[in-house]
Structure formats: structure tokens, C-alpha cells
């Protein structure tokens, strides 16, 4: 039986999103699907974005954090306050096309096997396509999604059933930010939940517009300057650290024995490259710092791994079917060249 009007809880994460917050809320208010609740989780913004939310002529539940808790913990806070059958996680630098939520709800209600939806993200100012879900290589590196073959939906526009989100334990707050959506969807795959693309659900996304580290550092990482890819050291560190963490948590022991030595060799190759480029600080601040974090927190990681492996319902053979067998970092290198890390 189709529930034609289930409540959808929108959880919008904000940190200094003054340039985007009004457009994001307005796009929610103007949805053709009207049975929604809107929850804004503010990570201690220092601009006037929170004031804009408070002054908006719309029913909004606001969670005011005393500090920047990052994306994983803040999104979990919003989910705990949500009453909807569905959760829709949004970054503040997004805005929705009018029928976005209607198409997501309809997809899940018509096909009860669909548990998680990936929206069609397009560029913020027009309809240039970005992705409709994202692929993943066997080393945990993001890959352009393909029709019918994605691994995860980014948390910038992640739609799923609340019951399932609660069942898998939500986002892992140890991540702070980056790769927490990869980990969540990996755990969903392990418990045999279905992630589906919904290209009719269109979300405009600025991408990196309000990416902030815990210490307040502006990460704004994915910039193209004179056609050269620029990424912050902090983001590269968090990405590398959290990728290793995700692999250790979610692969079976047998698969890890194959994957991790190769992953380590890839990292060694990257470190040698930066050494030749006379950039030893990147080796220290990205790679060595990542492995040091893993060693310091290995007890916590093993405990979480034990929980994940105990709950898994499918083998790695099935998980690997969703993954690209190529090395994503090499493919990215061919596509955009050598990144500039600042």
C-alpha cells in the first residue's frame, strides 16, 4: 500500500552559509510536496546566517550548537529531532527544484525495495550535471557515478528511510567530516539495503561553498584556478585518514589482507612523488598524520569494525560488484592533472 503523504524531515546543515541559506529554505518552502518538517542544525556560525534563518517566515526547528561539530555529528543531532518517515540531509549551499521531494517520496513509496535515494545534483547556477550518486573504487576513492551503478549518495543531498538510518546507527561521528557518507552507505550495502538513483529529483549544489574545519579553517577545497585543481591540506588529510578508517571498518579480514598492502603501496608512491616535488610537508601533514591517527585510535576502530562485521548480511563479493575495479586516484590524475595542495 502506498502512503501518499508521509512526513519527510529535511535536515539542513549550516555553518556560515549566509550566501545560500535563504535560497535553500525558500526552495524547501516552495516544494510541490507539502508534508515536510525543516530542521536547521547550525554549527556555531559566526556570520548572520542563523539570524536569517530565525527571521524567515517559515516553520523551522533550529538546533544551535555551541561549537562546530562537523557534518557527521551535526546531522545525527538533526536526525534525532526528526519525526518523519523519511530523512533528507541537505547542505546549506543547495537549492531544490520544485518537485524534488515529491519525486523522492514517490520513488520509495512505489518501490518498497528502495531504501536510499541519490538525487541528481547539478551546478548551483544552472543545470550542468554533477552526479546522480557517486561510484567508489575498491580502495575507497570516489568515482563518477554511472546510470545503474553507484555506491553512495553524498550527504549534501541524501534521502533515506529514518528507520533504516536508525537501524545502522546513523553517521559515524568519529569522521567529523568527509567520507562519513561513504561509510554510512557502505554499512547500508553490508546490511543489504538498496540505494537507487532518482534523476528526477534535482538539487542545485554549489559544492565546497561552506566547508569548514573544526578549528575554523576555511577548506573550500575543490577550486579550479587556471584549470588546475586546488585542494586544501586539511581536506586531503581528512579524506586520506577517513578512507583508511573506512576500509579497516567495512572490509572483511580476507579482503583487507589483499587491499591494504596495495593501498599502502599507492600511498608510498604518492609520498615519493611529493618528495621529488620538494613538498615534504605534505607527506607529514597528510599521509604520516593519517597513519598516526589510525595507530592512536586502533582500539576504537577495531571495536567499531567488530560491530559492523557482526551485523553484515552480505559478503564482500557482492559489495565489490558495486565498485569500480580501476584505481580512482589514477583516473582523477588523468582527468585533472596534478592537484595543487595548499
Q: What's the whole-number mean pLDDT along residues 232-240?
A: 93
Q: What's the whole-number mean pLDDT along residues 88-108?
A: 97
pLDDT of residue 207: 80
For the chain, percent of residues with pLDDT exceeding 70: 90
Residues across the chain: 342
Task: For residue 247, give the 3-state DSSP assignment.
Answer: helix
- Indicate if 151 and 18 belong to the same structural domain: yes
Separation between Cα atoms, residue 9 and residue 20, nearest integer Å: 20
Confirm whether 100 is domain-assigned. Answer: yes
Domain span at 255: 223-341
- Indicate if 181 and 299 belong to the same structural domain: no
Confirm whether 296 is domain-assigned. Answer: yes
- Indicate if 169 and 111 belong to the same structural domain: yes
Confirm whether 214 is domain-assigned. Answer: no
Last residue of a domain, one of 172, 205, 238: 205
Confirm whether 3 is domain-assigned. Answer: no
pLDDT of residue 247: 98
Confirm whether 2 is domain-assigned. Answer: no
Q: pLDDT-based confidence at 104, cuts 50/70/90?
A: very high
- Is the confidence at residue 4, as pLDDT, over 80? no
Q: What's the whole-number mean pLDDT along residues 114-143?
A: 95
Confirm whether 215 is domain-assigned. Answer: no
Q: pLDDT-based confidence at 230, cuts 50/70/90?
A: confident
Confirm whether 240 is domain-assigned. Answer: yes
pLDDT of residue 130: 93
Nine cell digits for residue 23: 535560497
- Indicate if 330 and 188 belong to the same structural domain: no
Question: What would you report as the CA-atom Rg of the chain, rounded to the nearest whole angstrom?
Answer: 20
Write the CA distances from 212 to 14, 124, 156, 232, integer angstroms. 10, 19, 14, 11
Number of structural domains the chain divides into: 2
- Indicate if 166 and 18 belong to the same structural domain: yes
pLDDT of residue 337: 62
The answer to whether 12 and 35 are in contact (CB under 8 A) is: no
Overall pTM surpassing 0.85 (yes/no): yes
Separation between Cα atoms, residue 200 and residue 178, nearest integer Å: 26
Last residue of a domain, one of 205, 233, 262: 205
- Indicate if 197 and 95 belong to the same structural domain: yes
Q: pLDDT-based confidence at 223, cuts 50/70/90?
A: very low
Name the least confident of 141-150, 298-307, 309-318. Answer: 141-150
CATH number of domain containing 129: 3.90.550.10
- What's phi and psi for 178, nearest 5 deg? 75, 125
- Indicate if 199 and 228 belong to the same structural domain: no
Exposed/middle/buried for residue 259 (C-beta within 10 Å: 0-12, 13-18, 19+): middle
Confirm whether 49 is domain-assigned. Answer: yes
Last residue of a domain, one of 162, 177, 205: 205
Find, among 52, 14, 56, 59, the residue nearest to 35 by Cα.
59
- Indicate if 189 and 315 belong to the same structural domain: no
Exposed/middle/buried for residue 91 (C-beta within 10 Å: 0-12, 13-18, 19+): buried
- Indicate if 233 and 190 belong to the same structural domain: no
- Indicate if 315 and 188 belong to the same structural domain: no
pLDDT of residue 153: 97
- Indicate if 194 and 276 belong to the same structural domain: no
Separation between Cα atoms, residue 152 and residue 191, nearest integer Å: 14
- Indicate if 334 and 280 belong to the same structural domain: yes
Amino acid at each position: 500500500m502506498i502512503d501518499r503523504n508521509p512526513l519527510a524531515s529535511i535536515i539542513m546543515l549550516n555553518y556560515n552559509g549566509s550566501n545560500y541559506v535563504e535560497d535553500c529554505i525558500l526552495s524547501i518552502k516552495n516544494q510541490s510536496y507539502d508534508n515536510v518538517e525543516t530542521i536547521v542544525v547550525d554549527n556555531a556560525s559566526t556570520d548572520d546566517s542563523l539570524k536569517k534563518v530565525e527571521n524567515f517566515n517559515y516553520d523551522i526547528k533550529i538546533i544551535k550548537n555551541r561549537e562546530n561539530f562537523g557534518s557527521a555529528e551535526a546531522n545525527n543531532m538533526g536526525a534525532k529531532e526528526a519525526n518523519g518517515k523519511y530523512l533528507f540531509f541537505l547542505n546549506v549551499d543547495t537549492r531544490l527544484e520544485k518537485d524534488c521531494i515529491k519525486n523522492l517520496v514517490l520513488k520509495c513509496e512505489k518501490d518498497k525495495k528502495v531504501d536510499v535515494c541519490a538525487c541528481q545534483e547539478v551546478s548551483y547556477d544552472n543545470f550542468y550535471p554533477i552526479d546522480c550518486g557517486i561510484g567508489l573504487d575498491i580502495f575507497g576513492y570516489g568515482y563518477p557515478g554511472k546510470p545503474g551503478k553507484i555506491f553512495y549518495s553524498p550527504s549534501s543531498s541524501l534521502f533515506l528511510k529514518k528507520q533504516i538510518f536508525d537501524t545502522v546507527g546513523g553517521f559515524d561521528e568519529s569522521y567529523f567530516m568527509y567520507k562519513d557518507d561513504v561509510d554510512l552507505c557502505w554499512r547500508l550495502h553490508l546490511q543489504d539495503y538498496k540505494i537507487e538513483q532518482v534523476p528526477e529529483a534535482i538539487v542545485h549544489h554549489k559544492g565546497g561553498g561552506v566547508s569548514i574545519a573544526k578549528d575554523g579553517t576555511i577548506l573550500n577545497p575543490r577550486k579550479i584556478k587556471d584549470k588546475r585543481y586546488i585542494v586544501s591540506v586539511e581536506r586531503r588529510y581528512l579524506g586520506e585518514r577517513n578512507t583508511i578508517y573506512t576500509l579497516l571498518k567495512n572490509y572483511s579480514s580476507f579482503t583487507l589482507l589483499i587491499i591494504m598492502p596495495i593501498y599502502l603501496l599507492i600511498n608510498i608512491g604518492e609520498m615519493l612523488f611529493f618528495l621529488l616535488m620538494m613538498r615534504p610537508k605534505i607527506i607529514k601533514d597528510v599521509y604520516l598524520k593519517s597513519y598516526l591517527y589510525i595507530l592512536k585510535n586502533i582500539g576504537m576502530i577495531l571495536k567499531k569494525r567488530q560491530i559492523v562485521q557482526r551485523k553484515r548480511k552480505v559478503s564482500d563479493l557482492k559489495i565489490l560488484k558495486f565498485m569500480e575495479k580501476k584505481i580512482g586516484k589514477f583516473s582523477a590524475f588523468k582527468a585533472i592533472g596534478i592537484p595543487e595542495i595548499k
